[in-house]
Structure 1
Amino acid sequence: MIVTISKIFRPFCIKDLLPGREGYVGGTAADNRLFVEAVLYRYCAGIPWRDLPPRFGDWKNVHRRLRRWCESGVIERIFRHLAADHDNEYMMIDSTIVRAHQHSAGAPEKGGADQAIGRSRGGLTTKIHAICDALGNPVELDITPGQDADITQAEPLLEKIDPDAFLADKAYDADRLIDRLTERGITPVIPPKRNRTTQRKTDFALYRERNLIEQFFNKLKQFRAIATRYDKLKSTFLAAVQFASIIILLN
């Protein structure tokens, strides 16, 4: 497993963005690569933190360090650095549901903090929202409780991008979103719902490219601890999704 991970993780691509690097203010970390491989191993295998192999060091220290990186935004900065080099020809949005393990519930509610876990007939779920570019690479990510409608995150995520065309399925067919896209000069490629009085024309040749975001979700769910959520905190799980996306972008 270590050999496989070493081939996946390319430290020369992101080493200048990691805390603890040589010349960085503060202590110098000699084990940045080992730490990243430990986190990657855990999310690939989907094991509890306490089952992390001893060769990675004390699991408590690994988890504590990951939480520090989450709180200081290290993982998000790396993701945004890699995602900044995106293709603006067209982008697409979609979401996917992941089951939340019972161990992910029960985080203390500090100030009514929402941990993005929904309760429904199917159990505990979290929804991952993503925007991908014309190459199928992730550009924007967010998570919400599983019962939230897909369209709730469309406008917030859309504010951060500026593609020529925007692809989405019928779940995103809403006048407010269509009008917002039109105002910004972005071509909506969203099939109209059947109950629309006036059916809007759609470029279905371009719409077929939406399979790229489905391929991204398929790659994302190869990480067992992403396909099933075990993390209690929203910030930790969102960082995990960003971390897995970094690995996808590096490949």
Structure 2
Amino acid sequence: MVGRGDLTNAEWERLEPLLPRGGTRGGRWSEHRKVINGVLFRVRTGVPWRDLPERFGPWETVYKRQRRWSADGMWEMLLARVQATENAAGRIDWDVSVDSTTARAHQHAAGARKTAPPAVSSKGAPRRHDPGRIDDSKPVRPPGGGGEAGECLGRSRGGFTTKIHLSADGRCRPLSIVLTPGQRGDSPQFEAVLNRICVPCIGPGRPRTRPDSVSADKAYSSRSNRRYLRRRKIRHTIPEPKDQRANRCRRGSAGGRPTGFDKQRYKRRNVVERAINRLKNFRAVATRYDKRAYTYLGTVTVASLAIWLRT
């Protein structure tokens, strides 16, 4: 019997062929479906790991699987393969929108050790570090007794927060995700978010990395962002703030041409807001309980995977 929030039979049929067959050190994995349902339950409800219902098996097994697959990029690989299947069927709307949201960090998210032992992958290899997904170029030390720098925790108007930068396709599904501390600005992460779009092809061919068009609010209006989009030949709709417009007009011909703006296309920018709402329906995404940035990134990726499977 399928519980509320568990993988349905149709969703499991899509996901099962993508999962690894072997286990660690020559052993066997615990039943994938039961463990993944346990991860989904925790991501959806935000309960402590020790409070997982017994029907998911030992809580340590579910927790270790989530942590291990967050460390070695397994969740990201599964998400990429599901996206590739959708793209092959022509079900991705490449009119992309970009925005960000902050997630309040619970007090349990603070206090990470300064020097933690390196995580290992499912094959025993050291965890890969992907600075494109986690921005720790300017590390912030979280308050509350120590803490390792670079865990994407910082102070903003919302308090102790992490910021999620993402792009979404025209069907309100996350395409790429970047984490930063909560006080970071949106515009500097614009290129990083778009550079993370990479949907593989099923069969020969290069992954698709360039959307048909990009929409964003005026927080992303800057010369560098527009120059980046023109260089990649991406149509874009980004409103120009009044101060930038006045400065351009004041400079005369040296200020450049007026920026183009398509009102009808900009009306579709709400798809990224709706994608954020879908992500924040998962309580472990709306409130960060994970100490490590890569573990929280895995939590957000699991929620994104569930959205793609269920849309």
Equivalent residues in 2 for 1:17-32, closer than 5 Å:
17-20=18-21, 26-32=26-32
Structure 1 position 187, deviation (Å): 1.3
Residue identity matched to 1:232? K
Q: How far apart are the structure 2 equivalents of 1:201 and 1:145?
A: 32
Alpha-carbon distance, 1:136 to partner: 2.1
TM-score normalised by length of structure 2: 0.75
Distance in 2, matches of 1:59 and 1:141, equals 27
Distance 1:215 1:122, change over 3 A: closer
Out of 164, 175, 181, which is 2:223 matched to? 175
The answer to whether structure 1 residue 242 and structure 2 residue 301 are counterparts is yes
Matching residue of 1:102: 107
149-158 vs 231-240, which deviates more?
A: 149-158
Map 1:193-204 → 2, pairs under 5 A: 193-196=241-244, 197-198=248-249, 199-204=258-263
1:190 to 226, 238, 241: 238
CA-CA distance at 1:120 after TM superposition: 3.7
More moved, 95-104 vs 155-164: 155-164
Structure 1 residue identity aligned to 2:174? P
**TM-score, structure 1 normalization:** 0.91
Report whether the alignment pairs 1:76 with 2:76.
yes
In the aligned structure 1, how far is the partner of 2:3 from the partner of 2:162?
32
Q: CA deviation at 1:21?
A: 6.0
8 A Cα contact 1:97 1:127, kept in partner: yes
SS in 2 for 1:141: strand
Structure 1 unmatched runs, 5+: none
Instruction: Assess, with a 3 A threshold, how the Cα gap between structure 1 residues 127 and 121 changes in structure 2: closer, same or farther.
Output: closer
Question: Does structure 2 conserve the Cα–Cα contact (< 8 Å) formed by 1:117 and 1:124?
Answer: yes
Tell me how far 1:225 sits from its aligned partner: 1.0
| Cα distance change of structure 1 residues 26 and 207 upon mapping to structure 2, 3 Å threshold | farther
Query: 1:164 aligns to what?
Result: 212
Alignment deviations for residues 79-113 of structure 1 (CA, whole Å, 9 cap, x no partner) = 11123345364211000111000100111133864
Q: Which position in structure 1 is the counterpart of 2:252?
A: none
Matched, 1:211 2:291: no
1:130 aligns with 2:189: no
CA RMSD of aligned residues (A): 2.2
Alpha-carbon spacing, 1:8–1:138, altered in 2? closer, same or farther (3 Å): farther
CA pair 66-7 structure 1, distance change in 2 beyond 3 A:
closer
CA distance 1:182–1:40, change in 2 (3 Å): same
2:243 match: secondary structure: coil
Unaligned runs of 5+ in 2: 117-147, 198-208, 250-257
* Match status 1:37 vs 2:37: yes
CA–CA separation in structure 2 for the residues paired with 1:60 and 1:29:
14
User: Once the 2 structures are TM-superposed, how far is the Cα of residue 169 of structure 1 from its aligned partner?
Assistant: 0.3
- Equivalenced residues, count: 250
1:16 aligns with 2:17: yes
C-alpha contact (below 8 Å) 2:35/2:61 kept by paired residues: no
Say which one has the larger Rg: 2
Are the counterparts in 1 of residues 66 and 298 from structure 2 also a CA contact under 8 Å? no
How far apart, in 2, do the equivalents of 1:121 and 1:92 lie? 24
- Percent sequence identity over aligned pairs: 39
Worse-superposed segment, 160-169 or 217-226: 160-169
Contact 1:20–1:32, Cα closer than 8 Å, also in 2: no
